[in-house]
A and B are shown apart, each in its own frame.
Chain A
Amino acid sequence: MTAPAIELKGISKAFGPVQANKDISIRVMPGTIHGIIGENGAGKSTLMSILYGFYKADKGEIFIGGTKTDIPDSQSAIAAGIGMVFQHFKLVENFTVLENIILGAEDSGLLRPSLSRARRELKALADEYELNVDPDAIVEDIGVGMQQRVEILKALYRQADILILDEPTGVLTPAEADHLFRILENLRREGKTIILITHKLREIMDITDTVSVMRRGEMTATVKTVDTSPQELAELMVGRKVLLRVEKTPASPGDVILDVQDLNVTDAKGVHRVKGISFNVRAGEILGIAGVAGNGQSELLEVLGGYEKASGQITVNGTPIDLTGQKSDGQSRRRRGIAHVPEDRQAEGLIMDYAAWENTAFGYHHDAKYRNGLFMNNAAILQDTTEKMERFDVRPPDPKLAAKNFSGGNQQKIVLAREIERNPDLLLIGQPTRGVDIGAIEFIHQQIVALRDQGKAILLVSVELEEILALSDRIAVMFDGHIMGERDPAQTDEKELGLLMAGMTGNPSQVSVKDIEENLAHAGTGKV
């Protein structure tokens, strides 16, 4: 019997008071694809970081190919034949592809010989595994799909036999994800062992041979993929029955609340991000904006939220809003009845070092009920926060706890409570469930639908197609700063939307991945 490619025995790891991994054991056979699935914060990434020598386990043993191996640092992991593709790529953005590949694996003190050897090997690898990249391109100029391939090539260039991929499809279009999976299958055929970390059930079902489920730092089950179902995996992940769908009735749209005409945005670096888009959102409907990250959705939200300049015309309730002058700031927007749940709650929506009560007033600190002349009315804010935390079931319900000490889902609830309870006419909401556990996702989705049913206009931006499909009453797809088209969620599917996300229309079956790639590279998307 062959030895497992990787075997972990009794791995435990704590960060301060938090137990991230508890007595985890796992075996992965060579030449297989093993999935690890779990919610945010389940401890998947910590486990893999231990395997890659990024962290040292408090307890436990690692066997590679049957031999007990110590992995105190990444160097040892690489030497043991392990390669890792992190969720956030570890590339030097202003280096070329080639420079990134040889970094840390140079042959000698001078760069020239290493670079020419890498160039030759890259060609061979590209032919073998469909891993095409332009060796001389600067990394920040290429799309995320190609950046990801550079990461895979980095691992293969270092002779990796075991490849770990952490949430690899988060930034890819569906077609690119399919391409990635073909690459992984090629690698499996060549005898490589692959560990795929994801929170997407579909990916697990599509490509893995075996799957392990993690919950709250523990490994709850390891099963053969063919013997399980998405429902079973979801229950194992969450520990209870979950709704995989959002319950909602058809929308009954009213007047136009938000009207956007010929909007153009050029960012601080001079890049034309939004290219003349027009759309509207009515009262009582959710307009979902789909698209791969970096295609102008963020800039759209920033303009509407008042912290990016733009040209064109935007009216709210029939009155134009200022896009460049004195009144194009967040305070004025809020006064016009626009509330905004930003895409990145940790960098934008919250001050992580502020207590929950201070965050409750954030952006609304000039409101009459929160102020007291030049001073803040701290007692009123505290009172208000206590009530909001109660209504939104924020845990722990402690208004004096700093935002950073809440879990992702509870942080998002604090933001949502603040923005929704302003009773806005228009709610902008970006990536509402990014980094949020499943229980909170249900709650947040229900809140959004309830707000719609109260007759609010909602603009939803999400890179999660499932979320867009589940929540939206209309879907607009953005690509390279354009709106590629609008679709009725009842009459479309992920395939069609996926093509639009790559800037293409037409019959899905007649378009090749290569075309998509070229289109994406041409548009230079994904430069987030």
Chain B
Amino acid sequence: MDLLTLLQLLDSTLRLATPLLLACLAGLFSERAGIFDIGLEGKMLAAAFLSAAIAAVTGSVWLGLLAGIFASLLLSAIHGLASITFRGNQLISGVAINFLAAGLTVVIAQSWFAEGGRTPQLAGAARFNPITLPGAEALRDVPVLGPIYYELISGHTIIVYLALLIVPITAWVLFSTRFGLRLRAVGENPAAVDTAGISVVGLRFAAVAICGVLCGIAGAYLATALQAGFTKDMSAGRGYIALAALIFAKWRPVYCLWACLLFGFLQAIALRSDLIERVLQFNIQSQLLDALPYILTVVILAGFVGKAIPPRAGGEPYVKER
């Protein structure tokens, strides 16, 4: 494999890892606060649809992004209502949200655009377009470093850079601010937070809202950057893979980045069956390659997670007790 092919593979890795990373960090905020969220998938899907729909109608991808965040926040509110206010089962709430998104997006898309449950193709300002970083063209011909800068680092949409930036921000918020301290505390022992006079409900809703915003960005990225429009079930299990990455990363922001890059890499490979054939001298059916990221997710969950300790109050609704 030559350098250029490798760079293309890594470039594709970065693009595919971005929605995973955003969703993974979204899950991190929620789960660190003690709210399990398997509804990342549905929130991304809803955001993908509404962002594409609004971008198509207004021609502005930024309005699309806002709409996507709004859609995702709406579902977050349902999750918060069910799992925080009414102390319901968080897994079941997540499942419901995933189906709600899967059904509603198609029903609304069909009634709105009548294109078989899709949105119109997006182009121009209705999409996030690649940004060429300063000097990329000029340095292109510098050996090794030039192509790395041009092919790999430059030429992504703004969301990719934003997602990468959110990693250190998350780490800082979580470990250096009052909000982060309280957030982590409420995921470990909500009774400690409650007796300290802080609202458990408020903190958890805040966490769920942040989760909604990040999922919204992730979904908008899918429909307006990675693809050019919404198609049915386009999130394709990314929300679940992000969850697996979160477990793999042991609920730590920087590890999330590496885990998502790994899963992004797997997806990138799955798209390049020609590469696998060339390297392994072996013909693999594309259907099996499709399953590769899912198989590897299971393998990773089974083998490498080992003693990952989830936030101790995770999944359990908080009930005051004497």
Contact = CB atoms under 8 A, between A and B. Distances in A.
Interface of A: 45-46, 49, 52, 54-55, 73-75, 77-78, 84, 86, 88, 90-95, 99-100, 102-106, 108-112, 114, 154
B292 interface: no
A75 B197 contact: yes
B185 interface: yes
Interface in B185-240: 185, 188-189, 191-198
B113 interface: no
A94 to B, nearest CB: 6
A93 B195 contact: no
Contacts of B194: 54, 74, 90
Interface in B159-180: 176-180
Contacts of B179: 109
Top 6 A-B residue pairs of the complex, sorted by shortest distance between their CB atoms = A104-B196, A75-B197, A74-B197, A90-B192, A106-B178, A90-B195
B278 interface: no
B195 A84 contact: yes
A311 B185 CA distance: 38
Given A92-B192, A99-B181, A111 B197 contact: no
29 contacts: A49-B322, A52-B195, A54-B320, A55-B320, A74-B194, A74-B196, A75-B197, A78-B197, A86-B195, A88-B191, A90-B189, A90-B195, A92-B188, A95-B181, A95-B184, A99-B181, A102-B181, A103-B185, A103-B192, A103-B193, A103-B196, A104-B182, A104-B198, A105-B196, A106-B178, A108-B178, A109-B177, A109-B179, A110-B178
B181 A111 contact: yes
A109 B173 CA distance: 10
B252 interface: no
Contact of A90 (B176, B178, B180, B191): B191
Contacts of B195: 52, 54, 74, 84, 86, 90
Contacts of A114: 178
B318 to A, nearest CB: 12
Contacts of A84: 195
B192 A91 contact: yes
A153 to B, nearest CB: 13
B312 interface: yes
A422 to B, nearest CB: 34
A104 B193 contact: yes
Contacts of B189: 90-93
B180, B188, B189, B195 — which one has the most chain A CB atoms within 10 A of its CB?
B195
A46 B192 contact: no
Contacts of B184: 92, 95
B197 A104 contact: yes
Contacts of A95: 181, 184-185, 188
A92, A102, A154 — which one has the most chain B CB atoms within 10 A of its CB?
A92
B176 A111 contact: yes
B181 A103 contact: yes
A111 B178 contact: yes
A103 B185 CA distance: 8
Contacts of A73: 197
A527 B103 CA distance: 49
Nearest to A107: B178
Nearest to A114: B178
Nearest to A74: B197
A45 B184 CA distance: 28
A77 B322 CA distance: 16
Contacts of B180: 111
Nearest to B180: A111
A246 to B, nearest CB: 30
Nearest to B194: A74
Contacts of A99: 181
A487 B222 CA distance: 72
Contact of B185 (A46, A74, A92): A92
